[in-house]
Chain A
Amino acid sequence: MVKIETWKILLSLIVVLMGGFYALPNTLNENVRANLPSFLPVKTVNLGLDLRGGAHLLYQLDMPGVFKDRSEAMIQALRKELRSEKIGYRRIGGLDGGVRVTLRKEEDAPKARKIMRGLEQGLIVNTSGEGGLILEAVYTDEGRRDVYKSVISQAIEVVRRRVDELGTTEPVIQRQGEDRLLVQAPGADAEELKNIIGKTAKMTFHLVADPSASANVRTVSYPLDEDETQQMRLNRTALITGDMLSGAAYSQNQNGEHAVSFRMNNTGARIFCDVTRENTGKPFAIVLDKRIISSPVIREPICGGQGQISGSFTVKTANDLALLLRAGALPAEMKVVEERTVGPSLGADSVAAGKVAAIIGLAGVLVFMAISYGFFGLMANVALAINVVLIFALLSMMQATLTLPGIAGIVLTIGMAVDANVLIFERIREEFRLGRSVISAIDAGYSRAMATIVDSNLTTLIAAVILFSFGTGPIKGFAVTLGIGIITSFFTAIMITRILVVLWLNKNRSSKTIPV
Chain B
Amino acid sequence: MRGLRLVPEETNINFIGVRYAAFAISLFLVLGSVFLIATKGLNFGIDFAGGTVIEVRTPEVPDLKNLRERLNGLELGAISIQEFGEPDDLLIRLRQQEGGAEVQTAAINSVRSALDATYKDVGAVDYRRTEFVGPQVGEELKQQGLMAVIFSMFGILAYVWFRFEWQFGVASIVALLHDAILTIGLFSLTQVEFNLATVAAVLMIAGYSINDTVVVFDRIREDLRKYKKMPLPELFNIAINRMLGRTLMTSVTTLLALIALYLFGGEVIRGFIYALIFGIGVGTYSSIFIAAPVLLFMDIKRSDAEKVGHEVGAQG
**A binding-site residues for B, Cβ under 8 Å:** 50, 58, 60, 190, 194, 198, 335-343, 345-346, 349-350, 353-354, 356-358, 360-362, 364-365, 368-369, 371-375, 377, 404-405, 407-408, 411-412, 414-416, 418-419, 422-423, 426, 429-430, 433, 447-448, 450-452, 454-456, 458-460, 462-467, 469-475, 478-479, 482, 515-516
Contacts and interface: CB of A to CB of B under 8 A. Distances in A.
Contact of B196 (A58, A350, A373, A472): A472
Contacts of A458: 159
Contacts of A408: 261, 265, 269, 272-273
A354 B263 CA distance: 11
A51 to B, nearest CB: 10
Given A337-B134, A369-B253, A463-B155, A404 B269 contact: yes
Nearest to B109: A191
Nearest to A336: B101
Contacts of A373: 3
A342 B208 CA distance: 31
Interface stretch (B67-75, B136-144, B296-304): B136-144
Contacts of B126: 343, 345
Contact of B215 (A362, A415, A456, A516): A456
Contact of B148 (A343, A346, A470, A515): A470
B268 A404 contact: yes
Contacts of A194: 105
B263 to A, nearest CB: 7
B205 to A, nearest CB: 10
Contact of B136 (A337, A464, A471, A478): A337
Interface string B32-76: 000000000000000100000001010000000000000000000
B256 A452 contact: no
B218 A474 contact: no
B62 to A, nearest CB: 17
Given A471-B144, A475-B196, A336 B253 contact: no
A405 B269 contact: yes
Contacts of A346: 55, 128-129, 268
Nearest to A340: B131
Contacts of B190: none
Given A459-B214, A515-B1, A467 B249 contact: no
A411 B260 contact: yes
A4 B80 CA distance: 62
Contacts of A430: 242
A15 B101 CA distance: 51
* 3 A-B pairs closest in CB distance: A415-B257, A463-B207, A361-B260
Contacts of B312: 451
Given A364-B256, A415-B257, A467 B200 contact: yes
